[in-house]
Amino acid sequence: MTSSHSDPLEQIRAQAVAWLARLRGPTSAADHAAFEDWYCADPRHADVYDALLDNWDAMGRTPPASDRDNGGSRGSATRSALVGLLAASLIAVIGAGFWMNTVDSQKKPGAQQVAWLHPEQRRETAPGSIETIRLPDGSSVTLDTASRIDLAYSGTERRIRLISGRARFAVAHGDPRPFIVTAGAQDVVAHGTLFDIFLQDEKAAIALIEGRIEVRRTDHDETSRFLAPGEVMRVDRSGPLPKPEPDTSAIQDWPSGMQRFTDAPLGTVAAACNRYAAHGPIIVKGALASKRFSGTVDVRDTKAAAQLLASAMGAKVEVAADGAMRLIER
């Protein structure tokens, strides 16, 4: 089954509508086999189809008893036989857009989450959480702790504004619309690529992992630079764009929560952990803050991180009444 829509997700939505309309009445074994092939061909097919069923149920429609008696499993074509389903009504449900959150909203901080984002929506993460968001074109954004984006897709461009924090963008190929991320005073134009942006105190660190990106000043005419994989550009709010430089940081590790540090001041390591602290922070002062640390730390677990750092530095941890963890030299 095909669709004339150019947007990949719109194609999937149209296909889901067509399948539900086609399977509402008597069907053959070949129909069910073809549906299962389509349903299992792409995880997005299953997600969109299941979301349609959920939306339809929420409107007071339910599958016939024979459908439910057959188990209604994800891989079963029988759940699609919705007697009395009207394709026009389904198009209205889809056209309104919907949010699909595929994870338990009660997950504890630090657990990575996955969600679908509507074409015009804001998303932010709580302290301690890392969340991957699926975009309408098949691209994805991984939001670091305490980060926020605005999404504004249109018929001519795919635009995202990083308001605060850090995000990793995995850009889908095949969409002719430019993919543009605004972060501070610059636009980052991607070309089927993978890159990070960390926006903090109006300063942006833009790191390219794969592909090709162009960085443009939003307040300077025709000012732009291209990055190659493995390069980072550290940009201030004003002034000319600096030249890219080799990226020697552990920026590529952060989506897993495991961050690698090489000869980093202990105060810097503690600050990285504290970005994820849902409760008490790690406090390091004096000469201890200047001592160097090399190793990998799970920054999402500040209690474990404090113990690890204390052990590595020959220090001890004192926990205050407010939960703050102070590292003190023995």
- Read off the pLDDT of residues 61-84 as tens digits, 9 standing for 90 and up: 444 433 333 444 444 444 343 433
User: Where are the alpha helices (H) located in 110-208, listed in sequence order?
Assistant: none
3-state SS of the chain: helix, strand, coil percent to 5?
A: 30, 30, 40
Beta-carbon contacts of residue 275 (< 8 Å; ≥ 6 apart): 127, 144, 145, 146, 299
CATH fold for domain 257-329: Phage tail protein beta-alpha-beta fold (3.55.50)
Instruction: Enumerate the β-bridge partners of residue 261.
Output: 295
Distance from C-alpha of 140 to C-alpha of 132, rounded to nearest angstrom: 7
- For domain 112-246, the CATH architecture is Sandwich (2.60)
Q: Where do you find CATH 3.55.50.30 in the chain?
A: 257-329
Q: Residue 195 — pLDDT band, cuts 50, 70, 90?
A: very high
Distance from C-alpha of 152 to C-alpha of 120, rounded to nearest angstrom: 5
DSSP letter (8 states) at residue 295? E
- Encoded tokens for 92: 């209205």
Distance from C-alpha of 150 to C-alpha of 171, rounded to nearest angstrom: 16
Higher pLDDT, 24 or 264: 264
pTM exceeds cut of 0.85: no
User: Where are the alpha helices (H) located in 181-233, listed in sequence order?
Assistant: none
Q: Where do you find CATH 2.60.120.1440 in the chain?
A: 112-246
pLDDT tens-digit map of 283-293: 999 999 999 99
Q: What confidence score (pLDDT) does residue 100 get? A: 38
pLDDT reading at 154 higher than 60: yes
Beta-carbon contacts of residue 239 (< 8 Å; ≥ 6 apart): none
Q: What confidence score (pLDDT) does residue 27 get? A: 63
Q: Which of 221-225, 254-258, 286-290, 295-299 has the lowest mean pLDDT?
A: 221-225
SS3 assignment, position 268: helix
The contacts found for 248-252 with CB under 8 angstroms, 24 or more apart, are: 249/207, 251/196, 251/198, 251/205, 251/207, 252/196, 252/207, 252/209
